[in-house]
Amino acid sequence: MPEAQEQRLPRSHGGNIRDAVRRYGIAEKTIVDFSSSINPLGSSPAAKRAARKAIDRIDRYPDINMSDLRTAIARYYGIKPEQVVCGNGSNALIHLIPRVFRPKKVLVPMPTFSEYAAAVEDAGGEVAPLMLQEQNGYRIDPLDFSFALKGVDMAILCNPNNPTGALTTKAEMVEIFRSCCENGVRLVVDEAFIDFSEADSLVKDAVQSSSLIVLRAFTKFYGMPGLRVGYAIADTETAQRLRRGQEPWTIDTPSEQAAIAALTDWGYAKKTRRYIAKERDRLLANLRLIQGVEPFPSSANFILLKIAGIDSQLLTDRLGRRGLLVRDGSSFPGLDNRYIRIAVRTWWQNRRLLKALREILGS
């Protein structure tokens, strides 16, 4: 048995509001969730209307092939429906990929989303961590990545990365992908947060190669964590292999119709990008004024903070008692108890967090 399975890497997630209600004895409506990075503007209005309308169809099975959704996604990117694989959230696809391809050893830059390692280990594979360095802003260096490919048959990375917010440019991603191809390594790129940035996607590259899979989701940008819809984009043969490995009826009808509607909610998408960019910059500027807080630059809708003078678990608890949920950075392999991650919320919610941080840290 691989050592990675004997000593499993920790997996932890934010957004556990019900647990906070029980733990702190506070009303759910008073809680502001900075621990999960969901669009602060709420769900796409078009998606909500479509989901409500689809309720009248829950007396029938959903489309087992998810044809309408795959067609809508294909139209959105200018690709073919057969190059799209839909799943019950991108997390289901994160687990599907190693289960289908059975990699023996998988390169995973860390710190990052814990489910990548969990999925590899669940499929019997070994995780080869590439530890990113603070002095480099936790950015992925394509040369370091290339050297680390020796002996692995798959690599999984997140762009922009969670929890660091660091963006790997399109040119750097192309260089990384080229290195993977030269070493016979299949590359999986999770672009769950890329819509919050102005970065270029690898979707068009994925449909032209059997060595690249791109993951996307409706969870973060479209504010739909309660409706589990994610998708993978790959070349036709790879996509077919993934679909054959899925269970039937992976997405219910209201979720499918909501996702289809969200893709054409252009006004919502434009407003979201503009709002997040503005509030992220304003939040970063105010965080830099708080003694004991060092925020890292971010291209996503969350910010990684390095804190001084207090343990991250204690800070997380003190903020939680005030109804402010943040993500304890020590739950990410590669970080420790000097870090927390916060989502970019509305300005008044961000102000509430800033005020609490100033009071707790004494500045």
Looking at residue 217, which CATH number applies to its domain? 3.40.640.10
Same domain, 75 and 189: yes
Indicate whether 5 pLDDT > 50: no
Give the range of the structural domain holding residue 13, as residue numbers without chain letter.
3-42+267-361
Q: What residues have CB less than 8 Å from 192, skipping those under 6 apart?
A: 90, 158, 162, 215, 216, 217, 219, 220
Q: Which two tokens stand for residue 185?
A: 């390594």
Taking the C-alpha atoms of residue 108 and residue 345, their distance in angstroms, rounded to an integer, is 29
Same domain, 24 and 129: no
Same domain, 287 and 178: no
pLDDT tens digit string along 196-251? 998 899 999 999 999 999 999 999 999 999 999 999 999 999 999 999 999 999 99
Q: How many angstroms from the chain centroid is the CA of residue 308? A: 27
The residue out of 231, 264, 297 marking a domain boundary is 264
Q: What is the mean pLDDT of residues 96-105?
A: 98
Same domain, 307 and 239: no
Same domain, 129 and 153: yes
Taking the C-alpha atoms of residue 169 and residue 175, their distance in angstroms, rounded to an integer, is 10
Indicate whether 4 pLDDT > 50: no
Question: Using N-to-C axis directions, what is the helix angle for 45-54 and 253-263, rounded to 10°?
Answer: 150
Same domain, 101 and 210: yes
Same domain, 333 and 353: yes
The residue out of 204, 235, 264 marking a domain boundary is 264
Q: Which two tokens stand for residue 315?
A: 């800070």
The strand pairing partners of 340, in sequence order, are 305, 328
Same domain, 53 and 72: yes
Is the dihedral angle over the CA atoms 109, 203, 298, 33 positive or is it negative?
A: negative
Q: What is the pLDDT of residue 3?
A: 43
Same domain, 260 and 277: no
- DSSP character at residue 129: E
Q: What is the pLDDT of residue 224?
A: 96
Q: What is the pLDDT of residue 22?
A: 85
How distant, in Å, are the alpha carbons of 11, 77, 128, 147, 238 from that of 152? Answer: 22, 31, 8, 11, 19
The strand pairing partners of 233, in sequence order, are 84, 214
- DSSP character at residue 29: G
For residue 23, what pLDDT band results from cuts at 50, 70 and 90?
A: confident
Question: Using N-to-C axis directions, what is the helix angle for 266-287 and 347-361, rounded to 10°?
Answer: 20
Same domain, 151 and 287: no
Same domain, 244 and 341: no
The residue out of 246, 264, 282 marking a domain boundary is 264
> What CATH number should be reported for the domain holding residue 340?
3.90.1150.10
The total domain count for the chain is 2
For residue 10, what pLDDT band results from cuts at 50, 70 and 90?
A: low
What secondary structure, in 3-state letters, does 276-317 show? HHHHHHHHHHHHCCCCCEEECCCCCCEEEEEECCCCHHHHHH
CB 26 within 8 A of CB 323: yes
Nearest to 31 by CA among 325, 302, 313: 325
CB 314 within 8 A of CB 338: no
Q: How many angstroms from the chain centroid is the CA of residue 358? A: 29
Q: What is the mean pLDDT of residues 62-74?
A: 97
Same domain, 207 and 338: no
Is the dihedral angle over the CA atoms 11, 143, 97, 232 positive or is it negative?
A: positive
